[in-house]
Amino acid sequence: MSDLFQPLVSLGYSLWDVLATVAVSLLGHERAPYALYAFKTLLLILCIVVPLMLAVAYLTLWERKVIGWMQIRIGPNRTTFFGISWLGGLAQPIADGLKLLVKEIIVPSGANKMLFVVAPIMAIMPALAAWAVVPFDPDMVLANIDASLLYIMAITSMGVYGVIVAGWASNSKYAFLGAMRSAAQIVSYEIAMGFSLVGVLMASQSLNLVDIVHAQSSRFGLFGWYWIPLFPLFLTYLIAGVAETNRAPFDVAEGESEIVAGFHVEYSGMTFAVFFLAEYANMILVSVLCALMFLGGWLSPFPETWGFLGVASFGWLLAKVFLVVSTFLWFRATFPRYRYDQIMRLGWKVFIPVTLVWIVILGAWMQTPLWVWWKA
């Protein structure tokens, strides 16, 4: 693998050298390092955001295909590149994106114009900013900060503003109802989600996502991951993650059958697309976090002695994320929407007690020799 990319890597280094010389001659030795550092960070951000947006685009296609198959339909199979028929459907996300890009953005009369435009930005900002601390590999992480788990909790908790502000600024009853439902739901499930993360940080003794994954490595492959000792928290996190991203069966904020499309009913064209991007980026984020915290991240599910199968790599993380995301789609194809009081009951009366009890059990368990997940 590494031999194959060697020419590319050396090309990258020489390009960087050229850039550094140019920067030094333009800005002098004092400021050039700062400019180069800023440029490098920008490049790294692009390296995360561009694949993420592509993943979001093709996740929509995968979702429509999977749900289609589950409901014995075909799903999108017409739009192709250059008329090649066996690529049927693969160009669908591109076509959708183009369509949304050129559609007119309509601002309803009586809407608060400023907030109406700001709302989609407030929705996508946290969905992208959270990726700054997500590790893809022991070394592939934009900002390896100590409190990365806390940072992610703080940033993702801001996602709700996009929804609330959109609902209010639209000056529409349906949008407002959707925003209210969503706000109550997200605030409720955030508590259960936070508690399940408390379990993870207790078990791994760290708030750093890289360390959390390292703490799960063992001789036993997938049996060393936290999904076994933290199983109730794992389930809680997974389901609360579905609720946090407003996905079916927790999509009362959209509720097509009663409030049309909820908070984004008045949005069209690109403003709507940005909400869509935010939702799917959040979905991938929750799946990546699930994989990192409970499913061992980039670690291999097989013992290290199994040759190339036992090697930890980015591919494993990708496979796990794909699995979790597909589970989300499966939920959507299978379950009917929850009633509002059922959502609240599940969040407050089931998940919060379960997580609280399990945190206490975990604390006691970790004091005994029965706790075998130590990898300090």
Residues lying near other proteins in the complex (CB under 8 A): 34, 112, 115, 145-147, 150-151, 153-155, 157-158, 160-161, 164-165, 168, 176, 179-180, 183-184, 186-187, 190, 207, 341-342, 345
Q: Which is nearer to other proteins, 224 or 241 (CB)?
A: 241
Q: Which is nearer to other proteins, 60 or 112 (CB)?
A: 112
d(CA 272, CA 150): 30
d(CA 153, CA 373): 25
Tell me the two tokens of residue 229: 């000792």
Residues composing the chain: 376
Q: Which is nearer to other proteins, 157 or 268 (CB)?
A: 157
CB of 211 to other proteins, least distance (A): 12
Instruction: Go through 337-346 and write b for each residue having 16 or more CB atoms within 10 A of its CB, e for each that does not.
Output: bbeeeebeeb
Q: Which is nearer to other proteins, 186 or 295 (CB)?
A: 186
Q: Which is nearer to other proteins, 136 or 151 (CB)?
A: 151
CB of 93 to other proteins, least distance (A): 31
Identify whether 229 is preceded by a cis peptide bond (ω within 30 of 0).
no
CB of 251 to other proteins, least distance (A): 19
Are 202 and 359 within 8 A, CB to CB?
A: yes
* Dihedral pair phi/psi, residue 228, rounded to 5°: -80, -60
CB of 145 to other proteins, least distance (A): 7
CB of 146 to other proteins, least distance (A): 5
CB of 289 to other proteins, least distance (A): 16
CB of 115 to other proteins, least distance (A): 7
CB of 275 to other proteins, least distance (A): 18
- Cβ burial of 214 (10 Å; 0-12, 13-18, 19+) is middle
What is 175-210 written as a DSSP string?
HHHHHHHHHHHHHHHHHHHHHHHHHHHHHHT-S-HH
- At a CB cut-off of 8 Å and minimum separation 6, what does 297 contact? 135, 209, 212, 213, 216, 291, 316, 317, 320
Q: Which is nearer to other proteins, 61 or 215 (CB)?
A: 215
Tell me the two tokens of residue 287: 């799946």
DSSP state of 317: H
Distances (CA, A) of 211 to 9, 138, 153, 293, 320: 28, 9, 17, 10, 18
* Residues 181, 183, 184, 186, CA torsion sign: positive
Q: Which is nearer to other proteins, 145 or 260 (CB)?
A: 145
Token pair 């399990």: residue:
358
Tell me the two tokens of residue 252: 């009362």
CB of 151 to other proteins, least distance (A): 6
Q: Which is nearer to other proteins, 95 or 143 (CB)?
A: 143
DSSP state of 348: I
Q: Which is nearer to other proteins, 80 or 157 (CB)?
A: 157
CB of 345 to other proteins, least distance (A): 7
Among the listed residues 356, 316, 279, the one whose alpha carbon sits nearest the alpha carbon of residue 135 = 316
Q: Which is nearer to other proteins, 56 or 192 (CB)?
A: 192
